[in-house]
Amino acid sequence: MGPVYYFLRFDVKRNGSGLLLTQNKYAQELLEKARMEDYNRCLVPLVVACKRVLRYVKGTLHHGLIFKQNSHFRLEAYADADRASDINNRRSTSGYAIFLGDNLVQWSSRKQKVVSLYYTEAEYRALSQAATALSVHRFSLL
């Protein structure tokens, strides 16, 4: 099949240290669709907000993610929670990070849906969320 150059709206570029993923082509198509290649000012508030977002997209066309080559191809996850961090409803916040080698591939931080009575219960919920996400990544790499 050959090397990948464009996949799921990502431009893929290889260099000596790994991969660079950008959305340059997709962002350029978005700007063309909105006729924003050359910015024209507008005073309607909603249009101004949309144009501000599109100007940001235009200014970051060449930004991307770098995935470095590693000697180890290991999938790792780290999870944490803080019990009852929201003083209004006493819900805990869970978070996790998933790494493929040294590269962060997914992270999440959000309030838990229920109130945990114990710290270990909040930690267990965080581990459960991380394990679910980790299993999705594991099966996508098979």
pLDDT at 7 over 80: no
pLDDT at 140 over 80: no
Question: In which residue are the tokens 């240290």 written?
Answer: 17
Q: What is the pLDDT of residue 10?
A: 81
The CA-atom distances, in angstroms, between 48 and each of 40, 44, 60, 103 are 10, 6, 18, 36
Which of 1-10, 34-43, 64-73, 126-135 comes out lowest in average pLDDT? 34-43
Model-level pTM? 0.57
pLDDT at 98 over 80: yes
pLDDT at 99 over 70: yes
Domains and CATH numbers, the chain: 6-67 (no CATH), 71-141 (3.30.420.10)
pLDDT > 90 fraction of the chain, expressed in percent and rounded = 12
pLDDT digits (tens, 9 = 90+) for 23-53: 888 888 888 887 777 765 666 677 778 888 8
